[in-house]
């Protein structure tokens, strides 16, 4: 859960700082039978509203904190079980 939270925080920060991101999708086709060659570059963009960026950051923080707490609780349970054994 922690890695997903960190990814969400990064996406949220990109959304707040840059307002989104752009991407390029490439498509290459080559057929030597009848000489068909196709090269396509598709440009796209994803816009992220600042409020959505803030919500994504908050969700990422919650996931990072929740992931850290589960580890601590698990370690405490093991220590308690070892004391009773």
pLDDT at 24: 81
Q: What is the pTM of this model?
A: 0.54
Under 8 Å between Cβ of 12 and 60: yes
pLDDT at 57: 92
Q: Please count the other Cβ atoms lying within 10 Å of the Cβ belonging to residue 70.
A: 12
Q: Please count the other Cβ atoms lying within 10 Å of the Cβ belonging to residue 57.
A: 19
pLDDT class of 60 with cuts at 50, 70, 90: very high
pLDDT at 74: 58
pLDDT at 3: 86
Orientation of helix 50-84 relative to helix 2-18, angle to 10°? 160
Q: How big is the chain by its Cα radius of gyration, in Å?
A: 23
Looking at every residue in the chain, the average pLDDT score rounds to 78
């Amino acid at each position: 859960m922690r890695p997903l939270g960190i990814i969400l925080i990064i996406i949220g920060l990109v959304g707040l700082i840059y307002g989104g991101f752009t991407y390029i999708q490439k498509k290459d086709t080559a057929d030597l039978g009848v000489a068909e060659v196709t090269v396509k570059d598709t440009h796209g963009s994803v816009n992220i509203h600042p409020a959505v960026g803030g919500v994504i950051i908050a969700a990422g923080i919650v996931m990072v904190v929740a992931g850290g707490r589960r580890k601590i609780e698990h370690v405490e349970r093991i220590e308690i079980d070892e004391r009773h054994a």
